[in-house]
Amino acid sequence: MAQFINRREDVVTEAIDGVLALSGGALTRLDGYPHIRVVLRSDWDRSKVAIVSGGGSGHEPAHVGFVGKGMLTAAVCGDVFASPSVDAVLAGILAVTGPAGCLLIVKNYTGDRLNFGLAAERARAFGLNVSMVIVGDDIALPDLPQARGVAGTLFVHKIAGALAERGADLETVTAAAKHVIAGTRSIGMSLDTCSVPGSPKEDRIPLGKAELGLGIHGEAGVEQIDFAGARASVATMVERLAALMGEGPHVVLVNNLGGTSVLEMSVLAHDLLQSSIGDRITHAIGPSPLMTSLDMQGISISVFPADATELELLKAPVAIPAWPGVSQVRSLVVAPMPDGLTPITPMPSNHAGTRAFLVNCCNVLIAAEQDLNALDAKSGDGDTGSTLAGAARALISAIDRLPLSDHTQLLRAIGQELSQTMGGSSGVLLAIFFAAAGDGASSGLPMREALRAGLARMQEIGGAKIGDRTMVDALAPALDALGDSLSAAATAARKGANYTATLTRAKAGRAAYINARQLEGHIDPGAEAVARLFEHLAT
Amino acid sequence: MAQFINRREDVVTEAIDGVLALSGGALTRLDGYPHIRVVLRSDWDRSKVAIVSGGGSGHEPAHVGFVGKGMLTAAVCGDVFASPSVDAVLAGILAVTGPAGCLLIVKNYTGDRLNFGLAAERARAFGLNVSMVIVGDDIALPDLPQARGVAGTLFVHKIAGALAERGADLETVTAAAKHVIAGTRSIGMSLDTCSVPGSPKEDRIPLGKAELGLGIHGEAGVEQIDFAGARASVATMVERLAALMGEGPHVVLVNNLGGTSVLEMSVLAHDLLQSSIGDRITHAIGPSPLMTSLDMQGISISVFPADATELELLKAPVAIPAWPGVSQVRSLVVAPMPDGLTPITPMPSNHAGTRAFLVNCCNVLIAAEQDLNALDAKSGDGDTGSTLAGAARALISAIDRLPLSDHTQLLRAIGQELSQTMGGSSGVLLAIFFAAAGDGASSGLPMREALRAGLARMQEIGGAKIGDRTMVDALAPALDALGDSLSAAATAARKGANYTATLTRAKAGRAAYINARQLEGHIDPGAEAVARLFEHLAT
């Protein structure tokens, strides 16, 4: 599986530098590349408790993405899925810890525990006040005494970070972090494995199966289960969570493990709120990629029964782009449909001249059906004649409903009829032509100008220009010449139609896909229809 | 390819309802399900120009995710990759358009142009003031007169939205939108196709290839090129952009097409800023999923030469979670490494008794090497004896460097020696034990209490409790009994060590993976080492 990386060895440093360059100066890194990859707040003055986290990379935006005022003071990054070294963690601690001390937030993996733990000891030997909490929110393996730390860690980052930012002391921040850890439960599910840079992708999950209870390092889930859609997946996860979560209202954190589409994440969020614990979820963070497992097509759900203070700390605004904020879960707001969707039916009226004119035009198109189909067969699917004739027949049969004595209303009404009876793009485009012409007429334009306004709108929407081998090539010159006489218009229309036979490259419509030789010498059927119409009217 | 959806027909409405429920009441939808899917700002009072966009679904967070104060007033959603109907668009227009009018922002696809276009006509027939702009930012097909609209559309949404929010009139907002469209250029690249709900995944891109110049509907790219890593991919895209972008500073929008990991996106962003147009990029939006193609593992890059006013409109803050904001591109801030990474070397000092005691202890462990290895072979990889003996030998050879006359410093120094010479988890854990004991001693604890503090820290970090079949089972009772006498401690250590032979389930360390029968009757090698040490000291 190819990935957008360069050398495997550089992936973490390049990614960090990418984030830094786009942080607007908010983030700084230590000059310790390639082995020591520590990112810290640029504005940090050591006056408050420092919050340091980190671990293996591959969980982006964690942890660098959560460094900033009100969350992490520094992040220490290991290689992909590998703990940072003791020296790297120590560098992070030393770079940010002042008299108020430092809290290390560590996900429960042996490597992280040991390396952060020893770094803490070494920092203490310098007289620094360092405390450490270990997050183990994963409930996938209830018998495992040391649960893994997964996305629920974000609750700890945010609450500890917000508290520290307000000036709480190390003891208070540490106790708050421990309280969050005690209440947080997470579980994950995935439909595919992740792609570890430089390693072949493990093809472990067969189609039709999902893995439940997986970590964030590509390790296999606790079990493979039958996959039965989003709702059933959420129900399975929720069942596990419900057995172990506390009473009362909870905040949920919906984490995209990396490769799940935004569409799917929203469906999953919907199903979660409809699930058996839905009515206990009062607030949500995400859905968002927060603690990913590279590009894994999976999700994790974390729940935490925040009290009022904790909720307020979670909600405290931060200028950290990767943090999606906390939203309150509300019932859907549904507004009534607006009036006006049913088209206004114009009052029918009669006008003998207009009626005759209209029927006359329709008959021209009906008579041309076979010829136009034949022309269309050269460049399209041979149905232009039938489409136009069908619309003409429909218009004749609707003639008693039309407002024949009011030309403005009539143009709009024809547009409406065409949009309902004539299929395809050409039906919509002609509907637009007549509707816009009606619009022009209603604003006082003379008929010729109104028709030109209709043409302009049709061209704007359809995109056809003169020379694109469409009906526009005949219609545009005809309308331009209409000011002189109908016969001038007919001549112009015919000239324009004939011109299309010389155009060997159609740029709009279906003929755009046909090659030059097939088109040469054949008039565009739409242009021919326009020419015949004007020629008939001029005689 | 399985996906987290339920019925294909419900995917769009369920996803929209998921977003709505988590919008905290900010978003409302029209009561038009299943066919009319229109989402609008709940706080909209029709006093300003309404900004309406939309199109096919599958591009999430576009377009619903960008509805909110300062961006879109309403989004009209079609099925996945299919234009919404004329009625749906009209419903959207009618629901939000007041006297100030409405701007439709339409991506350049025939279906969207026609349906939005005809809906605009029908809205105009009601006397509404509706204008429409068509975005065609894709440069993949430079000869195509009608370029597709892709992620650059976000520039238009944001600038038009911010301008409308400030009360600009429709003419001004429309002109601004057209100016943005004229200057925006985008190009996309992908390593894999997307998974359309309900359709088999097309396996079009062979390994080692990438598609350049693709749209956002799963259609094939303009060409397949050899894939040569992130930097080369960016260089290819940048070359196309450079040929068509304007002079001067640009804002770049880095769009995740849906399935690209956050890690990869940051690498790509890094490479973009280092590319030949890097010095012309002054500001960036993303990397972020903005206009996705479901779960496509791809990226698009859009550039726009914003003037001062446009930049300010882009930067105007909005409370829209999917909008990542604009960051200023800055050169990296790199801070010097902190002092203190090189461990403080304690002043060597001599003390005959301590020296003899220490060498004595080391010799006990050296003598036990084979026995401990044999015990470890029952449950691990048979190297506990060698690991401990190696550390003991290293300590003896370092003895002249140690501060033998200062017990506090000595404990820390032993911890430091062990962390440098002893591999694996046990080395780190013993280093933590001695460092924390030294810490305890330095804060005035008597030696026995200091050692207990060291044990507590080691247990906290390592996670081993009594009964977990580790050295703790011998060390903890020994330290508890040390207050009575060394011989009581030895008795307790031996009892604890023997107890481990009855434990058939290890809960920490490598033996946790071994089954019960293999463990039964064998003493844990770490516990045995502790017992032998105390027994020897007591004799």
B191, B263, B436 ranked by CB distance to A11: nearest: B263
Query: Does the CB of B444 have a partner CB in chain A at under 8 Å?
Result: no
B507·A145 Cβ contact <8 A? yes
Query: Does the CB of A270 have a partner CB in chain B at under 8 Å?
Result: yes
Residue A131: closest C-alpha in chain B: B457
Query: Does the CB of B29 have a partner CB in chain A at under 8 Å?
Result: yes
Residues of A whose CB is below 8 A from B15 = 263, 266-267, 270
Distance (Å) from the alpha carbon of A212 to chain B's nearest alpha carbon: 14
Residue A508 has pLDDT above 60, yes or no: no
| Cβ atoms < 10 Å from Cβ of B495 | 15
| pLDDT score for B359 | 96
C-alpha to C-alpha distance for B120 and B111, rounded to whole angstroms: 14
Residue in B261, B337, B422, B439 to test binding to A, most A beta-carbons within 10 Å: B261
Residues of A whose CB is below 8 A from B268 = 4, 18
C-alpha to C-alpha distance for A105 and A93, rounded to whole angstroms: 12
Max CA pair span of chain B: 106
Distance (Å) from the alpha carbon of A114 to chain B's nearest alpha carbon: 6
Tens of pLDDT, residue by residue over A413-454, are: 999 888 878 767 888 899 999 999 999 999 899 999 999 999
Residues 39-98 of A with CB under 8 A from B: 40, 42, 57-58, 60-61, 65, 80, 86-87, 90-91, 94-95
| pLDDT score for B351 | 95
| pLDDT score for B291 | 98
B263·A294 Cβ contact <8 A? yes
B295·A117 Cβ contact <8 A? no
Residues 326-365 of A with CB under 8 A from B: 327-341, 343-344
B2 and A191 in contact (C-beta within 8 Å)? Answer: yes
Residue B41: closest C-alpha in chain A: A333
| Cβ atoms < 10 Å from Cβ of A352 | 9
Which residue in the list A63, A157, A217, A522 is annotated as catalytic? A217
Residues 177-206 of B with CB under 8 A from A: 191, 194-195, 197
B6, B118, B230 ranked by CB distance to A4: nearest: B230
In total, the C-beta contacts within 8 angstroms joining chain A to chain B are: 394
CA distances from A352 to A399, A403, A413, A509 (A): 11, 12, 17, 37
C-alpha to C-alpha distance for A73 and B139, rounded to whole angstroms: 42
B19, B95, B335 ranked by CB distance to A266: nearest: B19
B61, B262, B270 ranked by CB distance to A289: nearest: B262
B28, B122, B146 ranked by CB distance to A463: nearest: B146
Three-class SS state of B181: helix
The tens place of each residue's pLDDT in chain B, 539 residues long, gives: 589 999 999 999 999 999 999 999 999 999 999 989 999 999 999 999 999 999 999 999 999 999 999 999 999 999 999 999 999 999 999 999 999 999 999 999 989 999 999 999 999 988 999 999 999 999 988 777 678 999 999 999 999 999 999 999 999 999 999 999 999 999 999 999 999 988 888 888 998 999 999 888 888 888 999 999 999 999 999 999 999 988 899 999 999 999 999 999 999 999 999 999 999 999 999 999 999 999 999 999 999 999 999 999 999 999 999 999 999 999 898 999 999 887 778 899 999 999 999 999 999 999 999 999 999 888 777 888 998 999 999 999 999 999 999 999 999 999 988 888 876 788 889 999 999 999 999 999 999 999 999 999 999 998 889 998 899 999 999 999 998 899 999 999 999 999 999 987 656 555 555 556 667 788 999 999 999 999 999 98
Contacts 24+ apart (CB under 8 A), B166-171: B167/B48, B168/B49, B169/B49, B169/B100, B169/B101, B170/B49, B170/B100, B170/B101, B170/B102, B170/B103, B170/B129, B170/B131, B171/B131
Residues 368-387 of B with CB under 8 A from A: none
Residues of A whose CB is below 8 A from B57 = 263
| pLDDT score for B483 | 86
B435·A36 Cβ contact <8 A? no
Which residue in the list B217, B250, B283, B522 is annotated as catalytic? B217
- On the 0-12 / 13-18 / 19+ scale of CB atoms within 10 A, A46 is middle
Catalytic (active site) residue B217: yes
- Outline where DSSP puts E strands in A329-441: 334-335
CA end-to-end span of chain B: 69
Distance (Å) from the alpha carbon of A435 to chain B's nearest alpha carbon: 6
Residues 396-425 of B with CB under 8 A from A: 412, 415, 419, 425
Sheet holding A223-226, edge to edge: A223-226, A209-212, A185-190, A298-304, A250-256, A281-288, A326-328
Three-class SS state of A288: strand
The CATH number that domain A348-538 falls under is 1.25.40.340
Which amino acid would we find at residue A180?
A: V
CATH class, domain A8-195+205-328, is: alpha beta
| pLDDT score for B146 | 77
Residue A203 exposure: Cα atoms within 13 Å on the Cβ side: 5
Q: List all residues 6 or more positions away from A85 whose beta carbon is below 8 Å from its beta carbon.
A: A35, A36, A78, A115
- Please give the ipTM for the structure prediction: 0.90
Best CA proximity match to B179, nearest among B313, B52, B12, B301 = B313
Query: Does the CB of B320 have a partner CB in chain A at under 8 Å?
Result: no
Residue B416: closest C-alpha in chain A: A122
Residues 112-131 of A with CB under 8 A from B: 113-115, 117-118, 121-122, 124-126
A114·B335 Cβ contact <8 A? no
CA angle A110, A113, A114 (to 5 degrees): 85
Give domain limits for chain A: 8-195+205-328, 348-538
B3·A191 Cβ contact <8 A? yes
Least confident of A227-236, A289-298, B341-350: B341-350
